[in-house]
Amino acid sequence: MYLSKSKYCKAVQCNKILWLDKYKSEVANPVDNSSVLDNGTKVGQLAKELFGKYLDVTFSENLSDMINETKEFLKNDICNITEASFDYNGNFCSVDILKKNKNKYEIYEVKSSTEISDIYLDDISYQYYVLNGLGLKVTKACIVHINSKYVRHGDLELDKLFNIVDVTDIVLSKQEEVNNKIDEINKYMENKKEEDRDIDFYCFKPYECPYFKYCSSNLEEHNVFDIRGMSIKKKFELYKKGIYKYTDLLDEKINDKYLEQIDFELNDREDKIIIKNIKEFLNTISYPLYFLDFETFQESIPSYDDISPYEQIPFQYSLHILDSKDSELKHTEFLTESNIDPRRDLALKLVNDIPSNVCVLAYNMSFEKNVIKKLAYLYPELSEHLMSIYNNMKDLMIPFKNRDYYTKNMYGSYSIKYVLPALFPNDESLDYHNLDMVHNGSEASNTYMTLTNYSKKEQEIIRKNMLKYCYLDTYAMVKVLSKLYEVVENDKK
Ligand code: SF4
């Protein structure tokens, strides 16, 4: 089989991924990794500048063109070549950065993550194998990855943004393994008959396999992989002992919350509502009440000052306001123009919209609190007010996280995306599926980050959809809170 870096790495995870890709790719479940790819592209581009001047091998569907262009560059003693491409016995690879010093070579594999994972070592070991097989003297193999501790001040400092880790010794120690693995892959791929391979931990590590649903389709509908919150490791521990059906799991010593999820779904239980605890939660809330939800984006390469790679940067919020429990619902919102640092404008509007010392409600408030704390640190003149918002925040998730209110249709989750349809199954106005374009936080973030790719007119429509999504997030909180009041009221009757 004609191998590449990515194919080799897939086979390291599981040979069958490669086999299904070739013979049965239609059974895959798509995994959305568009933002990961986008981050990877930006990081790759920037890392090319790490060692000064370089020549880029032109990408071509025809790999021979890339290989021939690389040969030309090497002949002309170009010191730094990016995407340098090679083929050794049907094993192809493009090296992110190749440094040439006379007849010695260094290879650099660029990753957009903040740490090194084992699969990166397999990746670069495969590249070394290819170059070494062609007789090139590779003296150094390094992984280049993002330094999470970097904070941007002014121009990007590439030497600080990237960590360069020398992994030559590990790469050398893995060469026999690479050789054997390539033989194994070739034999495996020659077989046209599908292997009956059992699922295992490797289906999720290093990446969630798109074929998991297909490979686990023989399991009955309710099984251990449907349990929310249990670690993958524990799920496979039970699976390997043959304990994976809900009915079998009921006799296991597992967390009460898992047992409760199983019991509710198996036995079609009535809703569980612990009035006393819900009352206690409601007693912590005071009016006027502000329902707050942020949308944020993350960048591998910080665009603005005082930001680290992958830090959450707020660009939008929705705020519903109730002056008293029965008063008219008010709403305000913020959505920055794209391509400008949104933080100061957002912080200014936030302190204008939310007075000091009022009760603020969020769902999973640690996220909102983190955002506010960073803004307070960044803008000392707003710090006191922002920290007052921070200190007066309450978490609407608590009654659901504590299972004071639980229904079988929450499927073990306390995310608002599960809680809301479980509490309001027939309310179309609360159904995220009815929204256009933006249905969840990551879509909001991706949409914001790609907004400038669209025409002005298109941007207007997209922005409206973004506002509608964020509006629903806080409106959902208003409705969830009203439901809590309702069950308490009904209990009194
Ligand atoms: S789901 Fe698991 S067994 Fe099936 S192809 Fe993926 S990794 Fe292999």
- Average pLDDT for 328-354: 95
Look over the chain and give the mean of its residue pLDDT values, rounded to a whole number. 95
437 within 8 A of 465, measured Cβ to Cβ: yes
pLDDT at 491: 86
Residue 8 CA to ligand 1 center (angstroms) comes to 15
Which residues does a 6 A CB cutoff place in the pocket of ligand 1? Answer: 14, 16-17, 20, 197, 199, 202-203, 209, 211-212, 215
Model confidence at 63: pLDDT above 80: yes
Nearest atom, ligand 1, residue 198 CA: 3
pLDDT at 57: 97
Model confidence at 36: pLDDT above 80: no
CA-based angle 271:275:277, to the nearest 5? 115
pLDDT at 39: 64
129 within 8 A of 88, measured Cβ to Cβ: yes
Ligand 1: which of 12, 23, 215, 225 to mutate, most ligand atoms within 8 Å of CB?
Answer: 215
Residue nearest to atom 3 of ligand 1 (CA): 199
Model confidence at 470: pLDDT above 90: yes
Say how many Å lie between the first and final Cα of the chain, rounded. 72
**Model pLDDT for residues 403-443, shown as the tens digit of each residue:** 999 999 999 999 999 999 999 998 999 999 999 999 999 99
Give the separation between CA 201 and CA 232, rounded to whole angstroms.
Answer: 7
Residue 199 CA to ligand 1 center (angstroms) comes to 6
Nearest atom, ligand 1, residue 16 CA: 5
C-alpha closest to that of 290 among 383, 346, 343, 365: 365
Ligand 1: which of 195, 202, 205, 208 to mutate, most ligand atoms within 8 Å of CB?
Answer: 202
Residue nearest to atom 4 of ligand 1 (CA): 215
How far from the centroid of its chain's Cα atoms is residue 389's Cα? 28
Residue 18 CA to ligand 1 center (angstroms) comes to 10
Dihedral angle, C-alpha 61, 65, 71, 72, nearest 10 °: -130
Give the separation between CA 20 and CA 189, rounded to whole angstroms.
Answer: 10
Give the separation between CA 124 and CA 106, rounded to whole angstroms.
Answer: 11
Residue nearest to atom 1 of ligand 1 (CA): 212
Nearest atom, ligand 1, residue 200 CA: 2
C-alpha closest to that of 129 among 92, 97, 101, 98: 92
Residue 224 banded pLDDT, cuts 50, 70, 90: very high
- Quick one: what percent of the chain has pLDDT higher than 90? 93
For residue 273, which phi and psi values (nearest 5 degrees)? -135, 115
pLDDT at 421: 96
127 within 8 A of 138, measured Cβ to Cβ: no
Tell me, what amino acid is at 11?
Answer: A
Residue 33 banded pLDDT, cuts 50, 70, 90: low
pLDDT at 42: 87
Nearest atom, ligand 1, residue 210 CA: 6
pLDDT at 32: 59
Sign of CA dihedral 301, 303, 307, 311: negative
Residue 98 banded pLDDT, cuts 50, 70, 90: very high
- Average pLDDT for 103-120: 96
Residue 210 CA to ligand 1 center (angstroms) comes to 8
Residue 31 banded pLDDT, cuts 50, 70, 90: low
What lies within 8 Å, CB to CB, of 218 at 6+ separation is none
For residue 406, which phi and psi values (nearest 5 degrees)? -145, 135
Model confidence at 5: pLDDT above 70: yes
Model confidence at 480: pLDDT above 70: yes
Residue 405 CA to ligand 1 center (angstroms) comes to 37
What residues form DSSP beta bridges with 84?
Answer: 95
Nearest atom, ligand 1, residue 19 CA: 5
120 within 8 A of 101, measured Cβ to Cβ: no
Model confidence at 258: pLDDT above 80: yes
Ligand 1: which of 9, 12, 14 to mutate, most ligand atoms within 8 Å of CB?
Answer: 14
Give the separation between CA 433 and CA 260, rounded to whole angstroms.
Answer: 28
Sign of CA dihedral 285, 290, 291, 296: negative
- Average pLDDT for 438-465: 93
Residue 339 banded pLDDT, cuts 50, 70, 90: confident
For helices 343-353 and 380-391, angle between their N-to-C axes, nearest 10 degrees: 50
Nearest atom, ligand 1, residue 209 CA: 6
Residue 337 banded pLDDT, cuts 50, 70, 90: confident
